[in-house]
Chains A and B, each alone.
Chain A
Amino acid sequence: MKFNNKITPYLLVSPYIIHFLVFVAFPVVFSIVLTFHKWNIISPMEYTGLSNYIRLFKDAVFLQSLINTLIFLVIHIPLQIIVALFLAEVLNQKIKFRGFFRAAFFLPVIVSGVVVTILWQQLYGFDTGLLNRILVSIGLDKIGWLTDPNVAMPSIALMATWKNVGLYIVLFLVGLQTVPEQYYEAADMEGASKWQKFFKITLPMINPTIFMVVILSTIGGFSLFIEPYIMTGGGPLNSTISAVLYIYKQGFFYYHMGYSATLGFFFALIILLVIVIQKRFVERDI
């Protein structure tokens, strides 16, 4: 049987093309169109020109949500890198039960985000939470982990770090194992200290891994949603409302689809900008 050479290639790529058109191209174009409209899904769209963009620049809660996301990133990314790198370094040594520890640190990564969030909600409880019980037992004051507006976002960042650190440990382990042993042997012969070897050999050699971890953590951090959605609902006093949570609320709580699309579009531009900046500076300087 002969193939029709003109049609067959198109037919073979058509599943991907259809998927791309329906689930990527159409939503993107439709979202951009939506930014110029008011639409609550059930009533016809109403053209509103640039009003959604004007509203965006006056929206104090959106600004707050961007600041909250930034606070999360500032705490989460360095913490993630430091903890993951430290643990990877330890787990790269020939220690007892190394396999067990590697698996144990990775376990939270494969547990559902909702389950982890509910677990930490119990740990963070003011009166009954384990953390406050420990604090009281050693004579310290209780902390409003999720009820104090100044502490709630750092608490969420801490939890997110615990959840994701296993993945980055694996990445760093791979990075560490690619550093040639001869470099360390040469440094030993020159009398370099452990710290010197770490800063002069290890860090520069795992630069690509660090860059990847920064990019992945940043993208993950920008998409912060489940944790504040379940644990705090964005409170107290909007201190944990992330940009994605706010976009979701506008879209699916209040059905302000046009405004939600505008926020999403603007937020995507911010992410793009940050990634470009990171690529220019992080890749070069580390």
Chain B
Amino acid sequence: MKLKFLSSVIIIFAVVLMTGCGNSRSDKNTLTYWSSNNSYEIKFADYITKKWNSNDSVKISFQPVPEGQSSEEVILAAVVGETTPDIYSNMWQGDVEVYADAGILVPLDTLDGFMEFIYDRCDSLVVEEITSADGHIYQIPWKINPIMLIYNESIIENLQLDTVPGTYSQFTDAAEKFKKDIDGDGYIDRWFGYAEVQVTWWQRFFDFYPLYLAATGGGKLIENNQAAFNNEHAIAVFRFLRNLYANKYFAMERLSARQDVFLSGTIATRFTGPWEISHSEKYKPEGFNYNFNHIPVPDDHVGPIYTYADPKNIVIFNTCKHPETAWKFLKEMINEKNDLKLLEISNQLPRRKEIDVNPLFSEYFKANPKMKKFAAQAKYVKGTDASPVLKEVFDLISQQYESCVVYRMKSPEQAIQDAADAVNLLFLE
């Protein structure tokens, strides 16, 4: 009797375990869509899926990406466990090549009408940027958050500058005027700007990389499986940033745990994205005015000034039973009207050409003039190069960044050369 009971318990436990670990997608007429888990995008995804489900026979089941240390880790775990959604809309462009290489994404250019749609939405440079090494396109450029320079208007006015700092020398001149040891303890405690000094690879999206794109007019980091950043522009960027730390124009200490240092006037500028607007509007003290400018460029720079787009794109996983229907849903989700809806709900820019002059969006930009600056900048943005080792590339640059820019243990020339050599070695392995 006892043995029977014990056996039954083990069998029930095993069955529960097996069913619990299995893929829960059982309804063949339902597509699963994972969005980002920020509240604005959840609201948008909820709106768009409800609208779709009221009309179409193939339903979309939406949920935010499950909680994890990062959405990248969650997606990876889902890939390994074969529990990927059909559609995912928060894919960092730099990750796509890894998944494309592994053959787990649907090549979207094989879907009916995709190329016409994409050329209608984006200009040819964007299409080139999102095309993988094998010639296929695995991602739909959806939204961007261009990195720009936020500045405190009152501080810049009080410094009596001719113009908002836009070049390296204008920036350092202004920084020299602003930095101060307020409490007289012999240490600077008011800096012109701040960027995280941590060596973490993605921190370079907010200092080196936008400055590099600005200086090079949207240049590449990697080309033909080789480092393409061993050039005078990258060296100039390192030299400029090194100068900021050497002269204490930027704080070397981590200031992120304090009260917002920009809103409290401890710093005058910061490299940041449009998300700063809603944050600043919510927490700024009375009378605090701020604005945005392009990323600083070398004094002799000519031509358009690019920046990092911080793009988040949409992919369809090859576990999807109805890729054509998924594509039909996505066409609906990112049409002009719904792009406007996304913008209104989340203040994130759709990656759509000429958005700043599109009459459909003009009301929004009239009501949100600061977002118009980002929309104008959106003409000159870049995501990342297509490479499966992009994180390592950024990590190697970051190591040299720390060594040269923050601790001045290497010259900019040597640091860039060492980073390029290490990246080239990476491709040989």
Evaluate contact between B253 and A127: CB separation under 8 angstroms. yes
List residues of chain B with CB within 8 A of the CB of A127: 187, 189, 251, 253
Contact of A42 among B102, B200, B253 (CB under 8 A): B102
Judged by a CB distance under 8 angstroms, whether B58 is at the interface is no
Contact of B2 among A3, A41, A55, A238 (CB under 8 A): A3
List residues of chain A with CB within 8 A of the CB of B198: 232-233, 235
Judged by a CB distance under 8 angstroms, whether B99 is at the interface is yes
Evaluate contact between B199 and A234: CB separation under 8 angstroms. yes
List residues of chain A with CB within 8 A of the CB of B199: 233-236, 238
List residues of chain B with CB within 8 A of the CB of A7: 3
List residues of chain A with CB within 8 A of the CB of B101: 43
- Number of A residues near B (Cβ < 8 Å) is 34
Given that A41-B80, A236-B406 are known contacts, is A147 also in contact with B10, CB under 8 Å in the complex? no
Given that A41-B80, A235-B198, A253-B391 are known contacts, is A4 also in contact with B187, CB under 8 Å in the complex? no
* B interface list, Cβ under 8 A from A: 1-3, 6-7, 10, 73, 76, 79-80, 98-99, 101-102, 104, 185, 187, 189, 197-201, 251-254, 257-258, 391-392, 395, 399, 402-403, 406-407, 409, 429
Q: Which 10 A-B pairs have the closest CB atoms?
A: A126-B253, A1-B1, A42-B102, A235-B199, A43-B102, A233-B198, A42-B79, A233-B200, A136-B185, A127-B253
* 15 interchain pairs, CB-CB under 8 A: A3-B3, A11-B7, A40-B98, A41-B80, A42-B102, A42-B104, A125-B253, A126-B252, A126-B253, A128-B258, A147-B252, A232-B198, A233-B199, A236-B402, A238-B399
Evaluate contact between A254 and B98: CB separation under 8 angstroms. no
CB distance from B402 to the nearest CB of A (A): 6
Encoded as 1 (CB less than 8 Å from any B CB) or 0, chain A from 84 to 97 comes to 00000000000000
Given that A233-B200, A235-B199, A237-B402 are known contacts, is A254 also in contact with B392, CB under 8 Å in the complex? yes
Evaluate contact between A147 and B3: CB separation under 8 angstroms. no
Docked pose: A253 CA to B72 CA in angstroms: 10
CB distance from A91 to the nearest CB of B (A): 34
Docked pose: A8 CA to B5 CA in angstroms: 12
CB distance from A46 to the nearest CB of B (A): 12
Docked pose: A253 CA to B391 CA in angstroms: 8
Judged by a CB distance under 8 angstroms, whether A252 is at the interface is yes
Docked pose: A215 CA to B402 CA in angstroms: 36
Evaluate contact between A11 and B6: CB separation under 8 angstroms. yes
Judged by a CB distance under 8 angstroms, whether A121 is at the interface is yes
List residues of chain B with CB within 8 A of the CB of A125: 253-254, 257
Docked pose: A232 CA to B429 CA in angstroms: 29
Closest chain A residue to B5 by CB distance? A1
CB distance from B50 to the nearest CB of A (A): 33
Closest chain A residue to B69 by CB distance? A252
List residues of chain B with CB within 8 A of the CB of A255: 76, 98
List residues of chain A with CB within 8 A of the CB of B79: 41-42
List residues of chain A with CB within 8 A of the CB of B409: 237
CB distance from A119 to the nearest CB of B (A): 11
Docked pose: A184 CA to B406 CA in angstroms: 58
Known: A233-B200, A236-B406, A237-B409. 18 other contacts (CB 8 A): A1-B1, A1-B2, A41-B76, A41-B79, A42-B104, A121-B254, A125-B253, A125-B257, A136-B185, A142-B187, A234-B199, A235-B402, A236-B199, A253-B201, A253-B395, A254-B395, A255-B76, A255-B98
Judged by a CB distance under 8 angstroms, whether A223 is at the interface is no
List residues of chain A with CB within 8 A of the CB of B402: 235-237
List residues of chain B with CB within 8 A of the CB of A1: 1-3
CB distance from A96 to the nearest CB of B (A): 38
List residues of chain A with CB within 8 A of the CB of B3: 1, 3-4, 7-8, 11
CB distance from B79 to the nearest CB of A (A): 5
Judged by a CB distance under 8 angstroms, whether A178 is at the interface is no
Encoded as 1 (CB less than 8 Å from any B CB) or 0, chain A from 190 to 213 comes to 000000000000000000000000
Docked pose: A112 CA to B3 CA in angstroms: 43
Docked pose: A127 CA to B10 CA in angstroms: 59
Docked pose: A11 CA to B395 CA in angstroms: 51
CB distance from B209 to the nearest CB of A (A): 18
Given that A11-B7, A236-B406 are known contacts, is A147 also in contact with B98, CB under 8 Å in the complex? no
Given that A125-B253, A126-B253 are known contacts, is A14 also in contact with B10, CB under 8 Å in the complex? yes
Evaluate contact between B98 and A122: CB separation under 8 angstroms. no
List residues of chain A with CB within 8 A of the CB of B189: 127
Docked pose: A233 CA to B201 CA in angstroms: 10
CB distance from B362 to the nearest CB of A (A): 43
CB distance from A58 to the nearest CB of B (A): 10
Evaluate contact between B80 and A122: CB separation under 8 angstroms. no
Judged by a CB distance under 8 angstroms, whether A149 is at the interface is yes
Docked pose: A107 CA to B73 CA in angstroms: 34
Docked pose: A144 CA to B197 CA in angstroms: 13
CB distance from B92 to the nearest CB of A (A): 14
Docked pose: A14 CA to B1 CA in angstroms: 19
CB distance from A185 to the nearest CB of B (A): 55
Evaluate contact between A237 and B407: CB separation under 8 angstroms. yes
List residues of chain A with CB within 8 A of the CB of B392: 254
CB distance from B86 to the nearest CB of A (A): 17
Evaluate contact between A121 and B99: CB separation under 8 angstroms. no
Contact of B391 among A144, A149, A254 (CB under 8 A): A254
List residues of chain A with CB within 8 A of the CB of B2: 1, 3
